[in-house]
A and B are shown apart, each in its own frame.
Chain A
Amino acid sequence: MLALLCLSLCGCSWRDAGDLSAVTAGAVARDGGRYTLTAELAVPSADSAVPDARTLSGTADSLAQAIDRAGAGRDTQLYWSHARVLLLDTALTRDGIEDAVRALTVSSEVRPSVRVCAVSGCAAEEVLTEGGSLSGDPAGFALGDSMDLAVRQSRAADMPLYRVLDRVLADGIDPVLPAVSLEDGQAVLSGTALFSGDRLCGWLDETQTAALCILLHAGDTATVYDGDMRHKLSDLSASVRADAGEGGTPAFAVDVRADVACESDGQARRAAAALRAQCVQAVETLRRTGCDALGFGRAWRQADAASYGSAADGAWRSVPVTVRVALRGTQSAEGGSE
């Protein structure tokens, strides 16, 4: 009996696999307080090794009801545990994502490890209904693969649902979401959506996104471009520190360290200078838009809770930031930039 109860916890009950329809991706939109949830199903095809894509939608006053309605009237139950990405519509991200993210996190349907993205340039459901992929896989499913690779290569921020909720609710750090758009009918990653609190406040392009991901220390490796030269970074580490400053206001220091594959000491130095310039640009954009993705506020609070508590909202934006980049050449070449 205990074994049966245990099995119920991992979704294994009396149903067999044929009773379940695996959802590979979802899109959430909100219009006038009503949520529309679109689910992408990967339907096995008898004629092809690549599954067919099918989308279903449900609209309701709450996300839990919308999830139920998306699967209503079907012979099989929608199984959300395999969903790899959740796409949030631009209107929803502009209005605030807290309610939606909270509802999805406490939902027993969607796993908290699913990655969340913000859609730009089209409606979120269009990415699933209109988009395709080079491999022929359903757009959302292929996007999940692209996202895995991009996170490992520091080209997209790693933002699973549970982390987004923490960033939205936490004091002194804001969320960022990988941006997704449709280009020539293909669903592609296209930079980063910046948030202040739970509201969309700006976008980063691909170059700035790469610098931000290094600062967020999202992936195992990264690439830095110095003109036409391309250098691979590994063994990355990044930290944000708040040092004591004048009049209770701190000074922030951002330190980046990595190994760089290059042929000479000069190349390592130039790569470090290029990376530093990109990091400074990304930090400037964060300050301009009011997105505290790097946790300047949190570092300030940890260093001096009293002065942080008495400072005005967004005071971190006017605090000076020093960016230091130290790259160690893997072929005995050293480089650094400050």
Chain B
Amino acid sequence: MNRVSGRQATCLLLVVLGGWSLTMTAADGRDGWIALALACGCSLPLTALCCLPAERMPRTRWFDLPAAAFGVGWGTAYLATLSALAFCSLCMSVLGGVIFLRTVSGGQWPVWLLAAAVLLCAAAAAQGERLALWTEPVVWVVVAALAVSLLLSVRQLDLSQLWPVLSDGWRGVPARAYLLLSAPFGEVFYAAAVLGGTGGRTRTGLLRACVLAGVLLCLLYVRNICLLGEAGAQAVLYPSYTAASVLEFGESFQRGEALISGSLIVCTVARAALLLDFFAGSLQTATGRCSARQAVWGAAAAAGAVCVFAAGGNRAFADALHLYQLLLLPIVGAAALALAAGVWLRTRK
């Protein structure tokens, strides 16, 4: 059983979800923050559902749960499916970070170098307790960077950009909330699995992270709309980055974007490390042949190759991300529900 505390669970998930703040678009206009808040609210029962099996049937590792709940054959199939899903999530995560960095740094860094650097760091950190220890201090840097960016922009905000609220009614809000619940919040499934844990410790930590991340993302979304204008924020690829680059704080501070972009790299590494850890754990348990380190480095190398060959334009990535958001929630939701049901059937008196 791992010894990750609730506070460490909060830090890890907050860093993972915090990366979304920089790559999110403002495509939903001035009411997008409502969809974000709705997704955040809906992520709480999803998180509780993901944590439930490990609490009800404690095992040394979460990856032993499927076999205990479904039997060895179905448990292996369950883990094999999820390891494939985790690899897709890993590729999307690294691609998102790499395309962002390539776009904002003007393309002078080759894609392969960025992908390799991110994956090397992630592979080195990919082990539940080590990752949790690493993110505990890092979360302060990430949150402080985003908070400073928010505070510096207060003077320049035009709050009238938010009015009228819901002028088109609720049309479109649930669909958008679904996509946001899927990614980023759906990836709480991986965190719940990697951190495992018994009692309410991990669950409380993850729930707290969802709420904090939701508040942070909503604030940043509102800031982007009020600073860049609704139409202006919708027209740019990365509103948070653009908003940070137009902050005015005297002559000496003119590189706010570097501050928050640095935190995106950290968030991408943490997210990739979490996904690598989940992939390695599930693959190792499913096959019973490779070691966790072999799986981590193998997956990192494979993801690097996929990212180098698949890194297209921003439009192509946006389409891929949309598809990913459409598919992730049903799969993760079904996996969490099936495991919870299997565990409940096994443990009922």
Q: Measuring CB to CB, which residues of chain A are less than 8 angstroms from any residue of chain B?
A: 1-2, 4-6, 8-10, 13, 102, 105-106, 108-109, 111-113, 160, 162-163, 165-171, 298, 301-302, 305
With known contacts A8-B109, A109-B106, A166–B237 Cβ distance under 8 A: no
CB pair A106–B246 under 8 Å, yes or no, is: no
CB pair A162–B103 under 8 Å, yes or no, is: no
Interface size class of B (residues with CB under 8 A): 35 or more
Determine the chain A residues whose CB is within 8 A of the CB of B121 once the complex forms: 1-2
CB pair B164–A301 under 8 Å, yes or no, is: yes
CB pair B163–A302 under 8 Å, yes or no, is: yes
Q: How would you classify the secondary structure of chain A's contact residues: helix, strand, loop or mixed?
A: helix
Interface residues of B in 205-239 (CB under 8 A from A): 228-237
Tell me the complex Cα distance, A36–B156, Å: 33
Tell me the complex Cα distance, A113–B227, Å: 12
CB pair B232–A169 under 8 Å, yes or no, is: yes
Answer whether residue B194 sits at the interface, using C-beta atoms and an 8 A cutoff. no
A169-B234, A302-B160, A302-B163 known; 11 new pairs, CB 8 Å cut-off, are A2-B121, A5-B117, A9-B261, A10-B258, A13-B108, A105-B232, A108-B103, A163-B229, A165-B231, A169-B232, A169-B235
CB pair A165–B114 under 8 Å, yes or no, is: no
CB pair B234–A162 under 8 Å, yes or no, is: no
Determine the chain B residues whose CB is within 8 A of the CB of A162 once the complex forms: 228-229, 232, 236, 242, 246
Determine the chain A residues whose CB is within 8 A of the CB of B118 once the complex forms: 5
CB pair A302–B246 under 8 Å, yes or no, is: no
Determine the chain B residues whose CB is within 8 A of the CB of A301 once the complex forms: 164, 167
Tell me the complex Cα distance, A298–B228, Å: 16
Answer whether residue B137 sits at the interface, using C-beta atoms and an 8 A cutoff. no
Tell me the complex Cα distance, A276–B316, Å: 53
Tell me the complex Cα distance, A1–B246, Å: 27
Tell me the complex Cα distance, A102–B262, Å: 26
Answer whether residue B82 sits at the interface, using C-beta atoms and an 8 A cutoff. no
Tell me the complex Cα distance, A108–B262, Å: 17
Q: Which residue of B lies closest to A2 (CB)?
A: B265
Partner of A9, one of B164, B237, B258: B258
What's the minimum C-beta distance from B167 to chain A, rounded to whole angstroms?
A: 5
A selection of 28 A-B contacts at a CB cut-off of 8 Å is A2-B117, A2-B269, A5-B114, A5-B265, A6-B265, A8-B108, A8-B109, A9-B258, A9-B261, A9-B262, A10-B258, A13-B109, A106-B235, A108-B105, A109-B106, A112-B236, A112-B246, A113-B246, A162-B228, A163-B229, A165-B232, A166-B229, A166-B232, A166-B235, A167-B229, A298-B160, A302-B164, A305-B164
Answer whether residue B346 sits at the interface, using C-beta atoms and an 8 A cutoff. no
Q: Which residue of A lies closest to B228 (CB)?
A: A162
Q: Which residue of A lies closest to B246 (CB)?
A: A113
Tell me the complex Cα distance, A171–B248, Å: 26
Answer whether residue B104 sits at the interface, using C-beta atoms and an 8 A cutoff. yes
CB pair A170–B230 under 8 Å, yes or no, is: yes
